[in-house]
């Protein structure tokens, strides 16, 4: 059976891809196949191999063997060399990886080229620089020489979502590799293609077999098997809060593996009336909600505008939102692509109808765009109340609810009226207000006078039901590290 497929993107880019499971540096057949669909057209791109219990065992055993076969004690400089080499190959093949990401995910090609693929290379390089900079401590204890050792955990599983396939892949593998862990990554069944192309670069970079394994499958099958596997010592998951609970339960019912979760959000974006440049606040607010068609966990889906500038903000925001091109993601003018699937399209449209039925005003959008694919107009709701479904639940689409507020205490109470705490934003010209409000907000990230600015050297994660642990930056290394204490009696 051939595991190689060829296809051409809508802008004429020809691609050849291996669709097998990447285990032990080889592409192999799975127990079944899954079709992946182009969300811009609704048409099947190709079918990929899916992992069942046998293939999950093979991947974990390959990672386990590689870990104890030398990777656990590998030289930090050698790990760094391999990771930097892999980053160089990502840079070399950036155009191809970006085209695959856009084909399978639907995001604008300009975004894939400016954020997703460069972000993958940046993560690898950042954590390559961390490999030889993790040190223990010497602790003064009477009559004993006490010190700590930072050790890897072992086989680390990663379950990544469909909204940023390459970026989320890098967030899982880069810190794990830096700390000499081996990895088994499960891609989303909706967007497996770019990770499989990346897998071929792992071999070219020279990584030993079994260090990096990439498999595909449904979450309730393959993801559950990985989360429950007794030879997986750590699991990292990005996705919905509901599935995050299942991951924690699976870990608790098996070997109590370490778990980190980056989950949902309903992030508040706060616009104060002293904002220096309202047009800039409008620009960032549009990016905050409509980036990646609203399919962003930290999307600014609740905008709170101080009452003195509310009408002015609404007028400018509506005009800017209506001006953006929604459609072909390969067109440089496009700023918003499709929702990832028909199911997600229906889910978002359901929220729009609920917003209308609950009495909110649909000021803009709310309709399908075109006859093919899963495109939805940028949608704005006003006249909302705090307990409306569109104000409480994560929609994960291009839908924003805008409300007005009186003062700081008023908006802080509104901002906290949610089960989530992933991100927030504050727009103000007052440094004092920016600091005091940021300090009061219960969120893992607070942006001031900007939105959706994420980098490899800054931690990212949530409060409350938005998850636990942090990804990116040196803080992420803690998730992939065990601390050992050694005490030597020196007889003093």
**Within a domain: 201:** yes
Work out how many domains the chain is built from and give that number: 2
- Pick the closest to residue 423 from 304, 297, 305 (CA basis): 297
Q: Is 262 a catalytic residue?
A: yes
Domain assignment present for 98:
yes
Give residue-wise pLDDT tens across range 22-31: 999 999 999 9
Contact 149, 136 (CB under 8 A): yes
Instruction: Find the angle CA(473)-CA(75)-CA(85) to the nearest 5 degrees.
Output: 65
**What one-character-per-residue DSSP string does 276-289 give?**
S-HHHHHHHHHHHH
Helix pair angle (76-92, 193-205), 10° resolution: 130
Specify whether 297 is located in the same domain as 444: yes
Query: Is 481 found in the same domain as 397?
Result: no
End-to-end CA distance of the chain: 70
As a whole-number percent, the residues of the chain with pLDDT over 70 amount to 100
Distance CA 395, CA 388 (A): 12
In a shared domain, residues 202 and 289: no
Report how far residue 444's alpha carbon sits from residue 468's, in angstroms, rounded to the nearest whole number: 10
424/464 Cα distance (integer angstroms): 14
Tell me what percent of the residues of the chain surpass a pLDDT of 90. Answer: 95
251 with 368, same domain: the answer is no
Which residue out of 101, 262, 456, 471 is catalytically annotated? Answer: 262
Output DSSP code: residue 22: E
Whole domain around residue 70: which residue ranges? 4-263+466-485
pLDDT tens-place string over residues 70-120: 999 999 999 999 999 999 999 999 999 999 999 999 999 999 999 999 999
Q: Are residues 230 and 330 in the same domain?
A: no
Residue 81: CB atoms within 10 Å: 15
User: Cα separation of 412 and 390, whole Å?
Assistant: 19
Give me the CATH number covering residue 378.
3.40.309.10
Q: Would you say residue 492 lies in a domain?
A: no
CA–CA distance from 455 to each of 164, 271, 445, 458 (Å)? Answer: 14, 23, 12, 6
For residue 407, being part of any structural domain is answered with yes
- Per-residue pLDDT tens digits for 220-270: 999 999 999 999 999 999 999 999 999 999 999 999 999 999 999 999 999
Q: Which residues pair with 420 in a beta bridge?
A: 464
What is the CATH number for 10?
Answer: 3.40.605.10
Same domain assignment for residues 259 and 274: no
Indicate if 430 and 474 belong to the same structural domain. no
171 & 78 share domain:
yes
Both 137 and 20 in a single domain?
yes
The answer to the question of residue 490 being in a domain is no
Helix ranges (H only) for 27-108 are 53-66, 76-92, 94-105
């Amino acid at each position: 059976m051939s595991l190689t497929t060829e296809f051409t993107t809508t802008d004429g880019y020809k691609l050849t891809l291996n669709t097998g499971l990447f285990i032990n540096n080889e592409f192999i057949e799975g127990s079944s196949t899954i079709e992946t669909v182009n969300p811009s057209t609704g048409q099947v791109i190709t079918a990929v191999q899916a992992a069942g219990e046998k293939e999950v065992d093979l991947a974990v055993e390959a990672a386990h063997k590689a870990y104890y076969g030398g990777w656990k004690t590998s030289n930090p400089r050698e790990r760094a060399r391999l990771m930097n080499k892999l980053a160089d190959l990502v840079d070399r093949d950036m155009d191809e990886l970006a085209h695959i990401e856009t084909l399978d995910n639907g995001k604008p090609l300009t975004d894939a080229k400016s954020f997703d693929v460069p972000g993958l290379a940046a993560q690898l390089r950042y954590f390559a620089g961390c490999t030889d900079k993790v040190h223990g401590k010497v602790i003064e204890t009477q009559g004993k020489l006490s010190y700590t050792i930072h050790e890897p955990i072992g086989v680390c599983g990663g379950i990544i979502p469909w909204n940023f396939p390459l970026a989320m892949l890098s967030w899982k593998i880069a810190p794990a590799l830096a700390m000499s862990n081996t990895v088994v990554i499960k891609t989303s069944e909706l967007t497996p293609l770019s990770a499989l192309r990346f897998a071929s670069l792992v071999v070219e970079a020279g990584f030993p077999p079994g260090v990096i394994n990439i498999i595909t499958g449904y979450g309730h099958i393959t993801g559950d098997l990985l989360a429950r596997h007794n030879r997986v010592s750590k699991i990292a998951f990005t996705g919905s809060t509901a599935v995050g609970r299942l991951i924690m339960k699976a870990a608790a019912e098996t070997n109590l593996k370490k778990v980190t979760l980056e989950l949902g959000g309903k992030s508040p974006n706060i616009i104060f009336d002293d904002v220096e440049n309202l047009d800039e606040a409008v620009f960032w607010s549009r990016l905050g909600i409509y980036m990646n068609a609203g399919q962003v966990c930290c999307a600014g889906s609740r905008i709170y505008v101080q009452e003195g500038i509310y009408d002015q903000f609404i007028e400018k925001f509506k005009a800017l939102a209506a001006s953006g091109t929604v459609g072909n993601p390969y067109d440089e003018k496009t700023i918003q692509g499709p929702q990832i699937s028909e199911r997600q399209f229906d889910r978002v449209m359901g929220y729009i109808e609920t917003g209308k039925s609950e009495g909110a005003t649909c000021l803009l959008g709310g309709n399908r765009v075109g006859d093919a694919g899963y495109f939805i107009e940028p949608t704005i709701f006003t006249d909302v109340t705090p307990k409306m479904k569109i104000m409480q639940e994560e929609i994960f689409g291009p839908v924003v609810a805008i409300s007005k507020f009186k003062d700081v205490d008023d908006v802080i109470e509104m901002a906290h009226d949610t089960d989530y705490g992933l991100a927030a934003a504050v727009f103000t010209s007052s440094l004092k207000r920016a600091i005091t409000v940021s300090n009061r907000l219960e969120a893992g990230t607070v942006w001031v006078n900007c939105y959706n600015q994420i980098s490899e050297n800054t931690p990212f994660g949530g409060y409350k039901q938005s998850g636990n642990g942090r990804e990116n930056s040196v803080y992420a290394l803690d998730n992939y590290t065990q601390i050992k204490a050694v005490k030597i009696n020196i007889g003093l």
